[in-house]
């Protein structure tokens, strides 16, 4: 019976946390994005695009970004070539929500959960920026591999990172097996 209780507590914490975080994020998107006559992405998506541009520029690439006028995306130009579009799904918030949901569901101490959450959010955000930079450079150099890069390789990078963070959390910081 104790094992069932632990599973029910985990599932309850997981789904409540996920739906609360996802609900807050959805409200944020509804309040900050606009589509219709004028398209405007959410501020977090614009910030990701600016960060991608900054890192690319630091690496010596000529870059430009601009709000797409026909959809909710930011056009990304690399060396004067429209290389990619950065959409809401590229801003890493959905992945961050999934990461946070897991560490809260497999909770540790409040202090450990807070600091690991902040560390994980920062790491996921930075790796996501570097992932988009690498993707856009590779898109331009190897356009024939765009689908494989976008659909297989680069999701594996970001989801692989989250998996490693989860395993590290459970092994070293959560309260699983410590009671």
Res. 107: pLDDT tops 70: yes
**DSSP three-state, residue 78:** strand
Evaluate whether 127 touches 31 at the Cβ level (below 8 Å).
no
Q: Rounded to the nearest 5°, which phi and psi values hold at 93?
A: -65, -40
Task: At 30, list the tokens.
Answer: 């509804």
Sequence-distant (6+) residues with CB within 8 A of 170 are 106, 176
pLDDT of residue 95: 97
- Sketch the domain layout of the chain as residue ranges: 2-173
For 4-31, write each residue's pLDDT tens digit: 888 898 899 999 999 999 999 999 999 9
pLDDT of residue 176: 76
């Amino acid at each position: 019976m104790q094992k069932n209780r632990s599973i029910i507590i985990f599932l309850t914490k997981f789904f409540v946390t996920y739906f609360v975080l996802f609900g807050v994020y959805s409200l944020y998107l509804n309040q900050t994005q606009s589509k219709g006559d004028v398209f405007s992405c959410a501020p977090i998506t614009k910030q990701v695009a600016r960060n991608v541009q900054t890192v690319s520029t630091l690496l010596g690439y000529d870059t430009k970004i601009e709000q797409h006028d026909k959809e909710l995306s930011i056009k990304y130009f690399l060396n004067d070539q429209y290389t990619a579009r950065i959409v809401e799904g590229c801003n890493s918030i959905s992945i961050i929500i999934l990461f946070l949901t897991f560490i809260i569901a497999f909770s540790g101490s409040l202090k450990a959960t807070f600091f690991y959450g902040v560390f994980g959010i920062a790491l996921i955000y930075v790796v996501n920026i570097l992932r988009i930079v690498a993707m856009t450079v590779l898109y331009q150099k190897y356009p024939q591999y765009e689908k494989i890069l976008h659909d297989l390789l680069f999701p594996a990078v970001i989801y692989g990172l989250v998996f490693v963070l989860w395993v590290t959390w459970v092994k070293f910081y959560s309260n699983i097996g410590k009671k």
